[in-house]
Structure 1
Amino acid sequence: MKKKGVKAILERRVKRVFDHKNDVLIGKVVGVHGVKGDVKVKPESDVFERQMESLKEIPIYRGTKKENLKIESMKPYKDLYIIKFEGVNDRTAAEERIGSEIWIDKSNQVELEEGEYYFSDLLGCKVITEDGREIGKIAEILEQPASHVLEVEKTDGKRILIPFIEQFVKEIDLKNKKIVVSLLEGMEE
């Protein structure tokens, strides 16, 4: 199964009933856990836990419905989080929230630490080599088990993959929408 890139997910969500142009997606309810109303949430942010802890109410969107819920408890579970919302007290109520998305206003985003970035800010950044040669622009960010991967659309329209790790990504300049990379021989083919 092909992993969906962040850009494709964001573009698909723009077509929804709600206008999320000033929002950022931080998680999605992907299942239920047990019979007491707990849901499994897949984080769409590396700072998901800090973000959730900073909010008094969590906006949950599903189709044409929006509800604000308070967190009763939250704990990590594999690559997900198990969350118990107040008022969601049985499996049936939890199942009704599968597929819901957690969007927050950009003004409510937590402060990022050194080396942390919101994926939506990286999309469209120019990718250049250390010697100043432009390769292309960030088209997607793929989530892989070992690390995130930058999918770069080259100036000729072809795409290449660059692991989002220090060995390859040398500098990120969000102000100028520029990412400096160091590539191994053959990575551009």
Structure 2
Amino acid sequence: MSQIIVGKIRTSHGVKGDLKVFSSSGDYDHYSNFETVVLKKGNRSKSFEVEAVKGSGASTLLKLKGIDSPEEGKLYAGYDILVDEGLKAPCYEGEYYQSDLIGCDLVYQGETLATVLDMVYGGPNDLLEVKKSDNDVVVLVPFRNEFVGDVDIINKKIELRVDWILD
């Protein structure tokens, strides 16, 4: 089964190696279903058994077997949390997983203008990091209704409402 990014390690918490997490979906309830996770950053990855899930919401903590001190926990700050795709939280209307958006074509009036490489989170808007089709320039496009229309995950196409956003 393929794996999906469900969150990111923020930092360690306490003296026993608990890890503060950020959930990609905003939902933390499904973390209690995880028996194992893979922590990945770049080309480094490591599988861990989940010992406990503590707290709730943005205060959710993961305790992973083999991470037993704050120093060990801090080594994994910034790592993505991956689980089998079947364990991901369901998306609500208008919500998408980053992994579903990566590889989608940005289409304006039937013409493919760019391809989504990644998502950048932060500030007031999430941003699509896209590579233009005509010259391989990378551009950030706000993932907002003014700029992005229909999202078709199955056909890997995202409607672009305005083309000037790529200039």
- The question of whether the paired residues in 1 share the 8 Å contact of 2:19 and 2:61 is answered with yes
Q: TM-score, normalised by structure 2?
A: 0.77
Tell whether 2:3 aligns with 1:23.
Answer: yes
Tell whether 2:160 aligns with 1:178.
Answer: no
- Hey, what does 1:70 align to over in structure 2? 51
Task: Identify which of 71, 86, 108 aligns with 1:95.
Answer: 71
The alpha-carbon deviation at position 169 of structure 1 amounts to 1.2
The alpha-carbon deviation at position 50 of structure 1 amounts to 3.5
Letter matched to residue 150 of structure 1: L
**CA offset digits 1:87-144 (Å, max 9, x no partner):** 78xx953432331653201122222221111111111111112x22321111221112
Tell whether 2:86 aligns with 1:107.
Answer: yes
Letter matched to residue 171 of structure 1: D
- Hey, what does 1:42 align to over in structure 2? 22
Task: Identify which of 135, 138, 141 aligns with 1:162.
Answer: 141
Cα distance 1:123–1:50, how it changes in 2: closer, same or farther (>3 A)?
Answer: same
Identity of aligned residues (%): 27
Tell whether 2:119 aligns with 1:141.
Answer: yes
- The question of whether the paired residues in 2 share the 8 Å contact of 1:33 and 1:82 is answered with no
Distance in 2 between residues matched to 1:65 and 1:180, nearest whole Å? 37
Distance in 2 between residues matched to 1:149 and 1:70, nearest whole Å? 34
Figure out how many residues of one structure are paired with residues of the other and give that number. Answer: 160
- The question of whether the paired residues in 1 share the 8 Å contact of 2:53 and 2:60 is answered with no
Runs of 4+ residues over 6 Å off in structure 1: none
Distance in 1 between residues matched to 2:45 and 2:141, nearest whole Å? 37
The alpha-carbon deviation at position 150 of structure 1 amounts to 0.8
Segments of structure 1 that go 5 or more residues without pairing to the other structure are 1-20
Distance in 2 between residues matched to 1:52 and 1:141, nearest whole Å? 22
The alpha-carbon deviation at position 148 of structure 1 amounts to 0.9
The alpha-carbon deviation at position 76 of structure 1 amounts to 4.5
Distance in 1 between residues matched to 2:161 and 2:139, nearest whole Å? 13
- Hey, what does 2:100 align to over in structure 1? 121
Q: Quote the RMSD (CA, aligned, Å).
A: 2.9
Distance in 2 between residues matched to 1:84 and 1:132, nearest whole Å? 45
Segments of structure 2 that go 5 or more residues without pairing to the other structure are none
Tell whether 2:46 aligns with 1:57.
Answer: no
Cα distance 1:117–1:97, how it changes in 2: closer, same or farther (>3 A)?
Answer: same
Letter matched to residue 162 of structure 2: L
**CA offset digits 1:44-103 (Å, max 9, x no partner):** x124414314x15242547675331233412445xxx44153878xx9534323316532
Distance in 1 between residues matched to 2:15 and 2:82, nearest whole Å? 26
Q: TM-score, normalised by structure 1?
A: 0.69
Distance in 2 between residues matched to 1:86 and 1:163, nearest whole Å? 35
